[in-house]
Structure 1
Amino acid sequence: MDLEDISQWLSTGKPPQTPLVMLFSQYLNAEEAAQIFQRFQSEDWIPNGQVLWSGVPRDKAQKWADNHHLQTLTTAMGPLMDKEHPESLKSKMTPHHWIQYVRGASAVFAWHIARGEKVTVLLPPPPERFHPSGLTNYQAIEEPIVRGQIGQYAVRKIVLVHPTVTESEEYFYEGWPEDEYSTWIQKYGLRNKKITWRKIGRSGDKLRLKTLMARPKLYPLAEPIDWVEKTETPREYSASLSLSTGPHHIKSGTGQAALVAALSMFFVLLSSKFALLALMGVSYVLIDETLRGSEVNQSCRLQANSKAGQEVNCVKGANNFLETISDRVEFKTQEESKTKLKDWKKVQAKAQKEVKNIEVERKAQVKAQEEAKRKELKDELKAQAKAEKKAKAESKLPDKALKKRK
């Protein structure tokens, strides 16, 4: 359960190995997270009144949210985002640490949103609504949480708005679970202006999040991701171990040569048979112990090298696994983008065809109306001429009658 896992993390400082808490703890420590949770649970929180945004200028998104009395992350965080406020940690953090902190706050913000009914998301207009990389904060962190891909909760509906198109600032349509973007296109048409997306590097934390979501589907029996991180320490240990075995081997060889040379000199100098036998016995014992020690050192060195090789292979395998998963996730994202682009093109062609049909119908209606007006006018003129002719005929009748009487 999300609440139990979060409560355990905040009380003990040790995050449980669940995807949601692992995501939070990747950016925040327990103390930072507790402060943000407390802020979002205050009376300032507006039920179902939050806004997420991506690909829209920050000022534009904030102004739109303020005009509609909704909360962005900045609004909901309140004093925690104000560098001058004593509760804010911004002045105590490096720029990199602050970026990580804001990402963690986005994750907690999304989780609180997911416990409600709906959320409003501001995006660029079709056909390119989302960043091609799929690695924006919204795509990699917030959307998976509000849709229930990470965590226990999910909103019932995601509502989309495209505020950069002035005439559609007040037009809301469903983006999830049903994507009704075709209704927007039919009303406002496609925007052919190419969007200049900001560059997003291959952020390791966001790639790990995508891997975290994709991995249970691809490898349900695989170890959790923190296993890979634990292999980094043995990697350093194995390197130092392999380096430390070299000099010991060299010293051992030098000692053996010196010992043999000294014994040979004593063997030549001493001529006494007893001394010779005693010296031979001592030299035999020393040489035997030296050779045994050398064999033991060599055996230990081989075992250490074998262990180091296994650990290095383990790390390589883990790295290859992560690279494979990342490539698969990226390939899947690219394929989804291509599919969406094809769908957008089909909708665009359909919309253009419908617009042409409407234009043809409108022209036909105008032509029919003009012809009807002409016919009506012609009939009126005929009727008027007929009436005038009749009037003239009637006006001549009295004159004819008088002539007949005379």
Structure 2
Amino acid sequence: MESFPSTALLYWPRNWPDRETLDLQSLICTVWPQYLTLQEACGILDQFHGPVWTLDKQVLWTGLGQKYTLVDSYAREHGMQTLRIAMGPLMDPQNPACLKSQKSTKEWGRYIRGASLIFSWRISQGDVATVLTQPPPTRFNPHGRTAYQEIEEPVLKGILGNRPVDRILAVHPTIEIAQTFPPYEIFPQDHQDIWKDVFGGVKCSKHTWRGVDRNIRTGSPVQKPHTWKTS
């Protein structure tokens, strides 16, 4: 079967939606109604398209358990934004714009997953994403099923048909002697050998990964959206 030539994109029909509109449609069709209402999704999009957003300065994190203080400190020291920082008033329980008090724990968790999806989609409009993880050899939960593995990373890599980021960089903040070590690339190429060459002999405390009951789903992984029709 003949592949669709890339040069055909130069002849995008005038009556078709532009690429930005299609990207936005794919995003909305994914977050609504699984995670967010349309009003909630639009509120988060408005927040991420406001002056608070700094291109290529976002931090995601996974496998760090209750160490959000460590994540927050890294982000602020490097002039970067976690989801919580980027959400601003939408995640401040003292602000009337925050919906946490109006939701159950389960509903709030679903809202945060939707916000994470939009956060990742917005990051993909730039060039670089940074993720804070445990150090090699096991950087990600071997059981899977984390928000990063099921939602954020797939979106960063373009599963919604969006443009993937050029690079995903990794940082391992739990290793104190590595605090000044620069982030290294894990996507599209995994250069963890750069880290291992310097810190491979460092003794790390054993991390206990959160177990997963695979009979219970707390949310569905992000999947490719349905293709849109022109007729």
TM-score bracket, normalised by the shorter chain, equals 0.7 to 0.9
Q: 1:201 to 1:150 in 2, by over 3 A?
A: farther
Q: Give the distance between the partners of 2:150 and 2:131, measured in 1 at CA.
A: 14
Q: State how 1:79-228 maps to structure 2 within 5 Å.
A: 79-171=89-181, 172-190=183-201, 191=203, 193-202=205-214, 204=217, 206=219, 208-209=220-221, 212=223
Aligned to 1:37: 45
Give the root-mean-square deviation of aligned CA atoms: 2.1
Are the aligned partners of 1:5 and 1:21 in contact in 2 as well (CA < 8 Å)?
no
Which letter maps to 1:173? Y
Which letter maps to 1:176? F
Aligned to 2:54: 46
SS of residue matched to 1:131: coil
Q: TM-score, normalised by structure 1?
A: 0.47
Query: Unpaired segments of 5 or more residues in structure 1?
Result: 9-17, 217-223, 225-406
Query: In structure 2, which of residues 69, 81, 86 is the aligned counterpart of residue 71 of structure 1?
Result: 81
TM-superposition CA deviations, 1:253-306 (whole Å, max 9, x none):
xxxxxxxxxxxxxxxxxxxxxxxxxxxxxxxxxxxxxxxxxxxxxxxxxxxxxx
Aligned to 1:261: none
Going by fraction, where is helix more abundant, 1 or 2?
Answer: 1
Q: Give the distance between the partners of 1:115 and 1:193, measured in 2 at CA.
A: 36
TM-superposition CA deviations, 1:91-122 (whole Å, max 9, x none):
11111110000000000000000000101110
Q: Give the distance between the partners of 2:187 and 2:212, measured in 1 at CA.
A: 25
* Deviation, structure 1 residue 5: 4.5
Q: Does 1:60 align with 2:70?
A: yes
SS of residue matched to 2:168: strand
Q: 1:88 to 1:6 in 2, by over 3 A?
A: farther
Aligned to 1:21: 28
Are the aligned partners of 1:128 and 1:195 in contact in 2 as well (CA < 8 Å)?
no
Are the aligned partners of 1:133 and 1:200 in contact in 2 as well (CA < 8 Å)?
yes
Identity %: 38
Which letter maps to 2:217? G
SS of residue matched to 2:152: helix
Q: State how 1:258-273 maps to structure 2 within 5 Å.
A: none
Which letter maps to 1:165? I
TM-superposition CA deviations, 1:302-356 (whole Å, max 9, x none):
xxxxxxxxxxxxxxxxxxxxxxxxxxxxxxxxxxxxxxxxxxxxxxxxxxxxxxx
Q: Give the distance between the partners of 1:199 and 1:117, measured in 2 at CA.
A: 33
SS of residue matched to 1:121: strand
Q: Give the distance between the partners of 2:143 and 2:29, measured in 1 at CA.
A: 23
Q: 1:53 to 1:7 in 2, by over 3 A?
A: closer
Which letter maps to 2:62? S
* Deviation, structure 1 residue 174: 0.8
* Deviation, structure 1 residue 194: 2.8
Q: Which has the higher contact order (CA 8 A, sep 6+)?
A: 2
TM-superposition CA deviations, 1:194-238 (whole Å, max 9, x none):
3201234445364x426x35xx9xxxxxxx7xxxxxxxxxxxxxx
Report the count of equivalent residues. 203
Q: Give the distance between the partners of 1:76 and 1:178, measured in 2 at CA.
A: 28
Aligned to 1:229: none
